[in-house]
Structure 1
Amino acid sequence: MTAIDDYLTTVEPSKRKELDRIRALAKQTVPDAEEAIVYGMPTLKYRNKPLLGFAARKNHIGIYPYSGQVIETLQDQLQDYSSSKGAIRIPLDRPISEEMLQQIIHLRLLQITHS
């Protein structure tokens, strides 16, 4: 059992299902990503750098690309979601699309591999 598995046991089932989906899509996109808990939330790391964080919040699912630049670059596509410099808030009744999640991951991967 990984640290992310431990975290997920503390999350209510409806939110856990979405976090599992996000985790699976991210791992499918970056199979050699490592799992960790960073800032108290499940995070996938690539080349020892945080790639994507995701967490259950009271009224949404938070997605954290550890890069304000990723969010800024995708702001037009993310206009249906509330966001801040470091977080994208996904409503519980409107899961993030696979395509959008892959765009977020790919942009962050580019930053990591070109830094």
Structure 2
Amino acid sequence: MKSEIDPPKPTTVDEYIAAASPLVKEYLVQLRSIIKQTVPQAEECISYEMPAYKLNGILIYFGGFSKHVSLFPGAEAIEAFKDELVDYKTSKGTIRFSLDKPLPITLIKKIIKYREKENLSKLNRKTKKIP
């Protein structure tokens, strides 16, 4: 049962970003812009109550928290970029970016391109199967 004091769940990325604190909002706007510039054909949506981008499946998620923003590219991308991610807190499928440092735009774009290639290769494998 939903409480009367629970904020409404976002249904759009605009709503998600609007609900963030001013500092977090700055980072979220920047992440959104980087993703849209890097993979303009990806479809923006909300999934698991977070902004997500789809291109032949989920490409990437991002989220804002009180002390950081996170990018959720999946475990394979974290492993592929582990040497470049040593300055950031990571877990199985998550990269945390502190709110006291600029976002590593070039690295984020490389990770997004990697995910795009991964998702498109899945599509190519599916279409190459002989019926």
**Aligned residue among 108, 112, 115 for 1:105:** 112
1:14 to 15, 23, 26: 23
* Aligned residue number for residue 55 of structure 1: 63
CA RMSD of aligned residues (A): 1.1
CA contact (8 A) 2:24 2:66 kept: no
Residue deviations 1:9-31 (CA, integer Å, cap 9, x gap): 11011111111111111101111
Which deviates more from structure 2 when the two are superposed, residues 74-83 or residues 95-104? 95-104
Alignment of 1:24 onto 2:33: yes
Indicate which of 39, 63, 72 corresponds to 1:64.
72
- Which runs of 5 or more structure 1 residues have no equivalent in the other structure? none
TM-score of the pair, normalised by structure 2: 0.81
Consecutive aligned runs of 4 or more in structure 1 exceeding 6 Å deviation? none
Q: Percent sequence identity over matched residues?
A: 36
2:69–2:99: 8 Å Cα contact kept in structure 1?
yes
Larger radius of gyration: 2
Structure 2: gaps spanning 5 or more residues? 1-10, 123-131
**TM score, norm. by length of structure 1:** 0.92
Cα deviation for residue 58 of structure 1 reads 2.1
TM-fit CA distance, 1:95: 2.7
Counterpart Cα distance in 2 of 1:94 and 1:53 = 20
Which structure dedicates a bigger proportion of its chain to strand? 1
Amino acid at match of 1:88: I
> How far apart are residue 71 of structure 1 and its match?
0.3
Q: Distance in 1 between matches of 2:98 and 2:104?
A: 12
